Amino acid sequence: MAFAIICSGGDAPGMNPAIKKFVDYNYKLGIESYLIYDGLEGLIDNKIKKATHKDVAGILHMGGTIIRSSRSKRFFEHKYRVQAFQNLQALDIKGLVVLGGDGSFRAMDIFSSEFDVNFVGIPSTIDNDIYGTEYCLGVDTALNVIRDALDKIRDTASSFSRAFIVEVMGRDCGYLAVVSAMISGAEICVIPEVEFKSENIEARLQQEIKNGRNYILAIVSEGSKKTSEIHDWIQDKLGLETRVSILGHIQRGGNPTVYDRMMAFDYAINAIDYLNSHNDSNKVVVYQRGEFSFMEIEEVVSSKYTLPERYLKAINYLD
């Protein structure tokens, strides 16, 4: 019997620790491990290699993914899914562990409905926007990258009496933005889930500027598409010279934090144990209230993640 692991979609810190634990734990159980390179594209093109300890030695601290990833349009054509399944059959691979996000799980949902494929998904996206789980692999590292950048930007903002707008990633989910605002002491946070009411904030900040405030830090989620609007509003209404920093893909990189390494450890073990004991897995490992459990892939991909109420309320508590 053999299992394979694949990364699909955007990379996330913590993927390499999960890959290492996948290989090491399978070895302990007497199960052969295969690495699928280049995501779903590699699955189609048969870039599948039997793993050894040498392949995963020394990767625990590395960001990104040693087996690389991709987004695949071809996989949504039936003939290429047939090809992918035949590649798995040829190597007697009975189960897949899929490190990815919503798009990856949608692809697997289609794949498993057509072929006898057992898989367990591990939520791996810095956006933290997968339904059914409180935590996705890579989020803690991304937040620490953002925190480090915000601390440095605040230093220069206060030195030059400027306003800084920092745009963070997250697609249509404001998780990274609101948590970053909470831990950085930002004065403004703009996310897709909450309407930005400038008149309320404007009066407060004008009074603070009158009383001596000389800089502002604003966190804007990319999904809000309001970075330019907030820039113009601060300059025109608050009168502060304003700069924009778009953090971009540095948020996906960096050494995985302790927490992401621990979560990768637990996610991988749970995924393998489930595959090893079920013939019809097709699940996603989810983390809720300090416990790991499993959710049907159909439920995960057909439902929309929503920010917990406490994060939505937190915006009202910013200074």
SS3 130: coil
Instruction: Specify whether the CB–CB gap between 104 and 14 falls below 8 A.
Output: no
Active-site annotation holder among 38, 109, 127, 129: 127
Q: Which residues pair with 7 in a beta bridge?
A: 99
Instruction: Specify whether the CB–CB gap between 284 and 295 falls below 8 A.
Output: yes
Residue with token string 């302990």:
28
Q: What are the phi and psi torsion angles at 210 (to 5°)?
A: -60, -35
SS3 288: strand
Q: Which residues contact 18 (CB under 8 A, 6 or more apart)?
A: 5, 97, 99, 122, 124, 137, 264, 265, 267, 268
**Distance between CA atoms of 176 and 170, rounded to whole angstroms?**
6
Note the residue count of the chain.
319
Please state the separation of Cα 305 from the chain's center in Å: 13
| Cβ neighbours, 10 Å, residue 123 | 33
The gap between the terminal CA atoms of the chain, to the nearest Å, is 57
**Distance between CA atoms of 164 and 62, rounded to whole angstroms?**
31
127 is catalytic: yes
Instruction: Report the candidate in 16, 32, 21 with the shortest Cα–Cα distance to residue 88.
Output: 32
Q: Which residues contact 119 (CB under 8 A, 6 or more apart)?
A: 95, 96, 97, 98, 108, 111, 112, 275, 281, 282
Q: In what order do the strands lie in the sheet with 242-246?
A: 188-190, 216-221, 163-168, 242-246
**Distance between CA atoms of 132 and 293, rounded to whole angstroms?**
10
Which of the residues are catalytic? Answer: 127
